[in-house]
Structure 1
Amino acid sequence: MGKPTRWVTDTKPGHSQWYVDRFRQLAAEGADLAGEARLLDALVPPGARVLDAGCGTGRVAGALAARGHDVVGVDADPALVEAARADHPGPRFLVADLAELDLAAQGEAEPFDAAVLAGNVMVFVAPGTERDVLGRVAAHVRPDGLVVVGFGTDRGYPVADLDADAVAAGLRPEHRFATWDLRPWRDDADFAVTVLRRPAG
């Protein structure tokens, strides 16, 4: 693993278990936890291969697998990966640092049709590694494949920085929305969902 992520440095002890418990409780209460998966499902062909980068407790990966996609989830936090494996059979879940991502070394050499970074992943990676994260994720996506990123715009990572980092990582911004259910983007929106594409040529 590389530099400690903000998930480690900017949260209190026990945060990972709190997060696991929170999403288990939300699921038990019947909360809608599949919004990101619905968007990805609409963007990719049936049975697509999808990388859930920063998968957390596996809710997005699990929802995508339930829709028939071949999903690999990756997170740097072993506690979250353990919970994902327990709660969402179907996807393969791996522990890995997104800034140094090399899934071929873990037996996943086949490229992905798309990758998703949901749940504020980009604002929890180690400071200064945002461009590396996008580059390593993009390297696992096939040419003409998609990388979809969502995070709160008030978390210290401006969308202008995301756009610059994406271009430097070889990705082309295509669309931006204010929510996962595609509400129009506004400059004062407190959340951004950005669809990036790895050019085919």
Structure 2
Amino acid sequence: MWNGAEYQRRFDSLAESGVDVHGEASFVRAFGPKTVLDAGCGTGRVAIELARHGVEAVGADLDESMLAHARELAPDITWVRSDLAALDLGRTFDVVVMAGNVPLFTAPGTQDALVAGVARHVGGVLVAGFGLNRGYTAEQYDEHCAAAGLKLVERFATWDRKPFEGGDYAVSIHTL
């Protein structure tokens, strides 16, 4: 379990020191979405920034502490408490984004169910960024996306689109 307020303080501190904490939202905005599902939204940093730019954002997370803080920060955004593997919002989104190492916080061996759960909501692209040095590889992720009907279209090393050359972090874009 997490402490949403404590988690958010880390990002607030970074922002106050001049660090751009909205790289993921900027990356997503480049797709020109009208709707975004922030899957594994935590305290809502990405969804809130997208909403500030006129994007309809919905956040989903399993941790109630994180969601409670997100609700405090942005009560007008829809926040859904759900295991992403079981998530069924009955709709699709232009972009589904999993920022912040979401697949790495899933119990080992359940990433396929996670990907299938979020893939149900893809109307355009699925964007995910996570470390590749913690037991879940880009190849495994690609296999799980393929099983969910998605195909890889691009991969970067960072949220600011540096080329992926096999490092320890990847931002992957999959589409229907």
* Shorter-chain TM-score tier: over 0.9
Quote the Cα distance in structure 1 between the aligned partners of 2:82 and 2:14.
26
Quote the Cα distance in structure 2 between the aligned partners of 1:181 and 1:162.
21
* Aligned mate of 2:127, from 141, 148, 151: 148
Q: Percent identity?
A: 45
What whole-Å deviation, never above 9, does each CA across 1:68-114 have from its counterpart, x for those lacking one?
A: 100000011000001111123442111110011122xxxxx332111
Q: Which amino acid aligns with 1:38?
A: S
Quote the Cα distance in structure 2 between the aligned partners of 1:19 and 1:138.
27
TM-score under structure 1 normalisation?
Answer: 0.82
Q: Who is 2:14 aligned against?
A: 26
CA distance 1:30–1:57, change in 2 (3 Å)? farther
- The alignment yields a C-alpha RMSD, in angstroms, of 1.6
- 8 Å contact kept, 1:44–1:114: no
User: Is structure 2 residue 144 aligned with structure 1 residue 165?
Assistant: yes
1:7-156 → structure 2 map (5 Å cutoff):
8=1, 16-45=4-33, 48-103=34-89, 109-142=90-123, 145-156=124-135
State the secondary structure of the residue aligned to 2:30. Answer: helix
* Aligned mate of 1:185, from 155, 164, 168: 164
User: Is structure 2 residue 155 aligned with structure 1 residue 195?
Assistant: no
State the secondary structure of the residue aligned to 1:98. Answer: coil
Mean Cα deviation higher: 125-134 or 62-71: 125-134
Unaligned runs of 5+ residues in structure 2 are: none
Q: Which amino acid aligns with 1:121?
A: V
Q: Who is 1:174 aligned against?
A: 153
Unaligned runs of 5+ residues in structure 1 are: 1-7, 9-13, 104-108
Say how many residue pairs are matched.
176
State the secondary structure of the residue aligned to 1:174. Answer: strand
Quote the Cα distance in structure 2 between the aligned partners of 1:101 and 1:150.
20
What whole-Å deviation, never above 9, does each CA across 1:13-42 have from its counterpart, x for those lacking one?
A: x65553233223334444311101111111
Per-residue deviation, 1:136: 1.1
Mean Cα deviation higher: 21-30 or 55-64: 21-30
Quote the Cα distance in structure 2 between the aligned partners of 1:141 and 1:176.
18
- 8 Å contact kept, 1:132–1:169: no
- 8 Å contact kept, 2:154–2:173: yes
TM-score under structure 2 normalisation?
Answer: 0.93
State the secondary structure of the residue aligned to 2:49. Answer: helix
Per-residue deviation, 1:43: 1.2
Deviant stretches of 4+, over 4 Å: 14-17
State the secondary structure of the residue aligned to 2:163. Answer: coil
- 8 Å contact kept, 1:62–1:90: no
